[in-house]
């Protein structure tokens, strides 16, 4: 997942600015004595760039989990201190921050809600030295040492929703459109398996450059002439909005169903009521998910942050479960020793925004919701209970 869009000219300038900022924060070596016993969580969220529209929700949800855990005594008696760190820029910038957090701040755990390209870079940088919890929605297959995934997997997200689209809605040919990076390509690889299982066919598979100023008139015209029954969308953020508005603008929304794999409340606001007919989404959390836990989570969230709180959605709510996963894992392992954490991760149960989940093979089994769009709100039409991740890693 994620959106990243910066003009090349700006990127170089921003790089220089970031380097300057890094120098500015160097003299952080003297730390207050009271901080010694805090449990530090390095929280990778989008604080800059276009994905930063998720930042306030990510921060707020992580804060909510932190407050709850700290009130209950913290992690092994230590109060959690969140260190929100930007992961909205290029992966190389985020890995620099990770090194700083490990060397200067001695963080105990990392929790990350960001795109897969950044995850791959972070795994290579952290090298299992610090437990790392990855939370949003992803393409599966992450089994690196000391890495724990609570994200929705293709088996949980794509298989049930796409199979429903084909079996119940009778879609036979599927057109795939996505941004050109690891998440869409790997998701479509999985989706092709599910399409073959249901006896359907792939009408076409097409990608647009990730981070470029895309427009979709040509793509939509091609889809129109291919006449698929449904479109599987792995575009993110502004591209997702843009595509869906163009799609409906050309009048294709009446006859062709759309299933988007990263459509949450913020993105749907952009798509707008006039373009959201016949558009579906599948995720483990929506603001109006019909579970008691989701209702309680929302009530607690509104109680803490008020009516003007940042818009809730899967990208953001995932940070709540990320902090809980880290807390539960470390408490059971009796510390942050990598081998002990790896062993302890099997079978831990912890809360998420939509109910408790249990970790197996460093992934979680979870309940998924299928929603169609009613104007700019999601309407949950189906619940897939306790779906296995399908991505269980072997014990190391």
Partner 1 sequence: MDPLIVTQAINLVYAVSTLAVLALGLAVIFGLLGVLNIAHGEFIMIGAYCAYVTQSGRWPYLAAVPLTLIVCGVLGWAVEWIMIRPLYRRPFDTLVATWGLSLLLRKIAEAIFGLGFYSVNIPLPGTVHFLDTEYPIYRLLLIAVSLIIVIGLVIWYGGSRTGSRIRAMISNPELAQAQGISVRRLAAGTFIVGTCLAGLGGVMLAPLIPVQPFMGLDYVLRAFFVLIVGGLGSAAGLLSGAAVIGGVDSVVSATSSATDGYFAVLVLSILFLWLRPRGIVAHS
| Residues within the interface to partner 1 (CB under 8 A) | 5-10, 13, 49-50, 52-53, 55-56, 180, 206-209, 212-219, 221-222, 224-225, 238, 241-242, 245-246, 249-251, 266-267, 269-275, 311
Q: Which of 81, 96, 134, 139 is nearest to 112 (CA)?
A: 134
Check residue 375 and give left, alpha or beta (phi > 0: left; psi -120 to 50: alpha).
left
Smallest distance from the beta carbon of 218 to partner 1, in angstroms? 4
Query: Could you tell me if 112 and 133 are in contact, meaning their C-beta atoms sit under 8 angstroms apart?
Result: yes
Question: Closer to partner 1 at the Cβ: 283 or 330?
Answer: 283
Question: Closer to partner 1 at the Cβ: 56 or 141?
Answer: 56
Smallest distance from the beta carbon of 60 to partner 1, in angstroms? 13
What distances in angstroms separate CA 202 from CA 171, 189, 191, 234, 323, one per listed residue? 11, 11, 9, 15, 39
Q: Which two tokens stand for residue 212?
A: 């470029």
Check residue 388 and give left, alpha or beta (phi > 0: left; psi -120 to 50: alpha).
beta
Question: Closer to partner 1 at the Cβ: 263 or 353?
Answer: 263
3-state SS, one letter per residue, for 193-249: HHHHHCCCEEEEEEEECCCCCCCCHHHHHHHHHHCCCEEEEECCHHHHHHHHHHHHH
Question: Closer to partner 1 at the Cβ: 35 or 273?
Answer: 273
Smallest distance from the beta carbon of 186 to partner 1, in angstroms? 17
Smallest distance from the beta carbon of 346 to partner 1, in angstroms? 39
Farthest-apart Cα atoms in the chain, separation: 67
Smallest distance from the beta carbon of 316 to partner 1, in angstroms? 12
Smallest distance from the beta carbon of 217 to partner 1, in angstroms? 4
Smallest distance from the beta carbon of 317 to partner 1, in angstroms? 16
Smallest distance from the beta carbon of 1 to partner 1, in angstroms? 15
Question: Closer to partner 1 at the Cβ: 40 or 59?
Answer: 59
Question: Closer to partner 1 at the Cβ: 208 or 330?
Answer: 208
Find the helix or strand (DSSP H, E) in which 70 lies.
Answer: helix 55-71
Q: Which of 163, 188, 194 is nearest to 175 (CA)?
A: 188
Smallest distance from the beta carbon of 221 to partner 1, in angstroms? 5
Question: Closer to partner 1 at the Cβ: 180 or 337?
Answer: 180
Question: Closer to partner 1 at the Cβ: 50 or 84?
Answer: 50
Contacts by 286-290, CB closer than 8 A, 24 or more apart: 286/313, 286/314, 286/369, 286/371, 286/378, 286/380, 287/311, 287/312, 287/313, 287/378, 288/377, 288/378, 288/380, 289/353, 289/354, 289/369, 289/380, 290/369, 290/380, 290/383
Question: Closer to partner 1 at the Cβ: 141 or 270?
Answer: 270
Report how far residue 141's alpha carbon sits from residue 276's, in angstroms, rounded to the nearest whole number: 32
Q: Is the dihedral of CA 132, 340, 82, 100 positive or negative?
A: negative
């Amino acid at each position: 997942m994620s959106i990243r869009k910066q003009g090349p000219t700006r990127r170089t300038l921003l790089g220089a600015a970031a380097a300057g900022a890094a120098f500015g924060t160097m003299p952080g070596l003297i730390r207050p004595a009271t901080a010694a016993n805090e449990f530090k969580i390095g929280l990778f969220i989008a604080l800059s760039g276009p994905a930063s529209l998720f930042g306030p929700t990510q921060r707020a949800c992580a804060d909510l989990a932190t407050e709850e855990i700290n009130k209950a005594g913290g992690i092994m008696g230590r109060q959690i201190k969140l260190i929100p760190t930007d992961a909205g820029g290029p992966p190389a910038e985020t890995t620099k921050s990770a090194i700083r957090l490990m060397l200067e701040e001695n963080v105990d755990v990392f929790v990350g809600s960001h795109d897969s390209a950044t995850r791959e870079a972070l795994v290579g940088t952290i090298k299992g030295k610090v437990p790392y919890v990855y939370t949003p929605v992803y393409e599966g297959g992450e089994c690196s040492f000391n890495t724990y995934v609570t994200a929705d997997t293709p088996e949980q997200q794509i298989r049930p929703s796409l199979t429903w689209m084909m079996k119940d809605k009778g879609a036979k040919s599927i057109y795939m459109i996505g941004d050109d990076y690891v998440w869409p390509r790997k998701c479509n690889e999985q989706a092709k398996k599910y399409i073959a299982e249901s006896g359907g066919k792939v009408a076409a598979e097409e990608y647009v450059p990730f981070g470029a100023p895309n427009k979709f008139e040509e793509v939509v015209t091609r889809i129109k002439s291919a006449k698929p029954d449904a479109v599987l969308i792995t575009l993110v953020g502004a591209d997702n909005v843009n595509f869906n508005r163009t799609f409906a603008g050309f009048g294709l929304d009446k006859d062709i169903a759309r299933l988007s794999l990263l459509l949450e409340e913020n993105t749907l606001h952009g798509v707008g009521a006039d373009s959201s007919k016949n558009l579906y989404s599948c995720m483990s959390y929506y603001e109006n998910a019909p579970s008691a836990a989701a209702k309680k989570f929302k009530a607690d969230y509104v109680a803490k942050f008020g009516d003007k709180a940042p818009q809730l959605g899967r990208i953001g709510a995932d940070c709540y479960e990320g902090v809980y996963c880290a807390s539960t894992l470390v408490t059971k392992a009796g510390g942050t020793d990598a081998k002990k954490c790896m062993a302890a991760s099997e079978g831990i149960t912890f809360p998420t925004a939509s109910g408790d989940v249990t970790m197996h093979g460093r992934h979680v089994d979870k309940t998924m919701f299928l929603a169609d769009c009613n104007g700019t709100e999601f309407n949950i039409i189906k619940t897939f209970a306790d779906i296995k991740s399908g991505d269980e890693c072997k014990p190391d």
